[in-house]
């Protein structure tokens, strides 16, 4: 098959990794894969290159009003429409729904009669968009023309998110929550496939902890917690939990490769001395960050957004071979036991979605350093097993073949 993959994000953010790795896996199975994503640096021109056998195109990111990561770039959309008209492909695999995916997918199906498969891996209408409003409220976002334009775009996307599912020839989803929602939207069972996020064992592996800390300039006593993210949607909940952890371990620190937390929230919890910001990093530099930590954290408040998604960082943490503490929301809880049920072969713990429960689970692991190595091995074993991207692609490929053959 010749498969055209469309991703709405900036390259290296969010769903890009799910699309890029699946494209790579299709190439390994003898197919031709092309991936179109958004350039993080080129405003007005596109760029093409090869990676892992996949032809990747970065489209212009210019947008005067809306975040370039949201898929509304006018030059980007026009470029993609032209590619859909000109390129030769057997199937279009559309990741998410924003205009730079929705419009080219609609054109491919209506004008070129090409089958379209849509991947749904985030809840926008009932999850991300309401959460954005909460964040705008506590950060004091100014009500200016840019914010009003962003809100207008979100109203349009609430229709696109479900509309693209009903027009697709096949749908893949990342969680059981979205599987049920897709069926409720009318997606036939035989046109629906669920597969979670995977672990990138090709690019991440367990490294020596002491060497990683020297490389990052991290010294001193106390346990080290690790956290990576493109955004911090659960920061209020997360920082409340960290205050309890660092009350128990005053010399402990959290190392982050993520945007800074909201300053007022950090001050409110008294955590300024416990946070070690490393800044945003490309994926190629994350391995030492993950392996410098004793325990890696996936904070997830109990909301619709988190119930529907699968945090990409979870697979990265597993591949790095470190103990993990997450919250028992969404499908991650299927892979991590709750406190009190942990076994030697457990990769970590999943706590209830309260700051107190999250604190307790983190402390429980920090107080048992003799178990860290075994939990790290269990995490890596899970990464190499059922959550290996290659294993997941074994179910995706026949699904795409079947849809393309209809």
Question: Residue 28 pLDDT more than 80?
Answer: yes
Please write the tens of the pLDDT for every residue from 236-263.
999 999 999 999 999 999 999 999 999 9
Token readout for 277 is 């910001």
Q: In the prediction, which pLDDT does 235 show?
A: 96
Please write the tens of the pLDDT for every residue from 159-173.
999 999 999 999 999
45-49, 216-220, 323-327, 352-356: segment of lowest average pLDDT: 216-220
Domain extents in the chain: 2-198+389-404, 209-384
Question: Residue 269 pLDDT more than 90?
Answer: yes
Residue closest to 14 by CA, chosen among 70, 56, 76: 70
Please report where in the chains the tokens 């859909």 appear, as a residue: 84
Q: In the prediction, which pLDDT does 342 show?
A: 64
Token readout for 389 is 């991207």
Is 2-198+389-404's fold the same as 209-384's? Answer: yes
Please report where in the chains the tokens 């469309």 appear, as a residue: 6
Please write the tens of the pLDDT for every residue from 91-105.
999 999 999 999 999
Phi, psi of 369 (to 5 degrees): -60, -20
**How long a stretch of residues is the chain?**
406
Please write the tens of the pLDDT for every residue from 382-400.
999 999 999 999 999 999 9
For 67-95, give one letter per residue: b (16+ CB within 10 A) or e: ebbbbbbebbbebbbebbeeeebbbbbbb
Furthest C-alpha separation in the chain:
63
> Cβ distance 320 to 206 under 8 Å?
yes
Mean pLDDT of 26-55: 96
Mean pLDDT of 66-94: 96
Q: Output the average pLDDT for the chain.
A: 95
Residue closest to 300 by CA, chosen among 379, 380, 236, 367: 236
Bridge partners of residue 404, in order along the sequence: none
Q: Is the alpha carbon torsion for 223, 278, 229, 387 positive or negative?
A: negative
- Residues with Cβ < 8 Å from 182, sequence gap 6 or more? 120, 165, 171, 173, 192
- The band of 116, judged by pLDDT with boundaries at 50, 70 and 90, is very high
- The band of 344, judged by pLDDT with boundaries at 50, 70 and 90, is low
Q: What's the CA gap between 90 and 112, in Å, rounded?
A: 10
**Portion of the chain with pLDDT greater than 70, in percent:** 99
Question: Residue 358 pLDDT more than 70?
Answer: yes
Please write the tens of the pLDDT for every residue from 302-323.
999 999 999 999 999 999 999 9
Q: What's the CA gap between 360 and 167, in Å, rounded?
A: 46
Query: What is 209-384's CATH topology?
Result: Rossmann fold (3.40.50)
Q: In the prediction, which pLDDT does 213 show?
A: 96
Q: What's the CA gap between 44 and 217, in Å, rounded?
A: 38
Query: What is 2-198+389-404's CATH topology?
Result: Rossmann fold (3.40.50)
Token readout for 237 is 């909940």
Cβ atoms within 10 A of the Cβ of 19, count? 27
């Amino acid at each position: 098959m010749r498969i055209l993959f469309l991703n709405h994000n900036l390259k290296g953010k969010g769903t890009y990794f799910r699309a890029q790795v699946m494209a790579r896996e299709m190439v390994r199975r003898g197919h031709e894969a092309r991936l179109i994503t958004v350039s993080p640096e080129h405003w007005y021109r596109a760029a093409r290159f090869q990676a892992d056998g996949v032809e990747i195109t970065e489209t212009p990111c210019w947008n005067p009003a809306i975040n370039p990561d949201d898929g509304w770039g006018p030059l980007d959309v026009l470029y993609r429409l032209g590619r859909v008209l000109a390129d030769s492909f057997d199937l279009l695999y559309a990741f998410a729904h924003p205009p730079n995916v929705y419009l080219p997918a609609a054109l491919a199906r209506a004008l070129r009669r090409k089958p379209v498969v849509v991947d749904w891996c985030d809840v926008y209408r009932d999850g991300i968009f309401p959460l954005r409003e909460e964040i705008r409220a506590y950060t004091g976002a100014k009500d200016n023309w840019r914010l009003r334009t962003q809100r207008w775009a979100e109203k349009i996307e609430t229709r696109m998110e479900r509309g693209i599912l009903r027009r697709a020839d096949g749908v893949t989803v990342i969680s059981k929550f979205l599987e049920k929602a897709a069926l409720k939207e009318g997606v036939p069972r035989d046109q629906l496939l669920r597969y979670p996020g995977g672990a990138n064992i090709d690019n991440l592996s367990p490294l020596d902890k002491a060497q990683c800390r020297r490389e990052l300039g991290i010294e001193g006593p106390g346990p080290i917690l690790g956290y990576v993210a493109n955004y911090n949607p659960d920061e209020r909940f997360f920082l409340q939990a960290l205050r309890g952890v660092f009350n128990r371990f005053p010399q402990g620190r959290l190392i982050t490769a993520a945007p800074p937390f909201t300053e007022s929230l950090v001050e409110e919890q008294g955590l300024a001395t416990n946070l070690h910001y490393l800044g945003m990093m490309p994926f190629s530099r994350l391995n030492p960050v993950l392996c410098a930590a004793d325990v890696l954290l996936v904070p997830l408040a109990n909301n619709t957004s988190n119930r529907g998604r699968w945090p990409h960082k979870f697979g990265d943490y597993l591949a790095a071979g470190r103990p993990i503490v997450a919250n028992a929301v969404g499908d991650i809880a299927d892979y991590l036991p709750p406190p009190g049920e942990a076994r030697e072969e457990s990769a970590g713990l999943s706590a209830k979605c309260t700051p107190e429960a999250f604190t307790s689970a983190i402390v429980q692991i920090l107080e048992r350093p003799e178990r860290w190595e075994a939990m790290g091995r269990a995490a890596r074993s899970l990464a190499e097993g059922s959550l290996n991207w290659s294993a997941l692609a074994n179910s995706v490929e026949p699904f795409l073949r079947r849809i393309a053959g209809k």
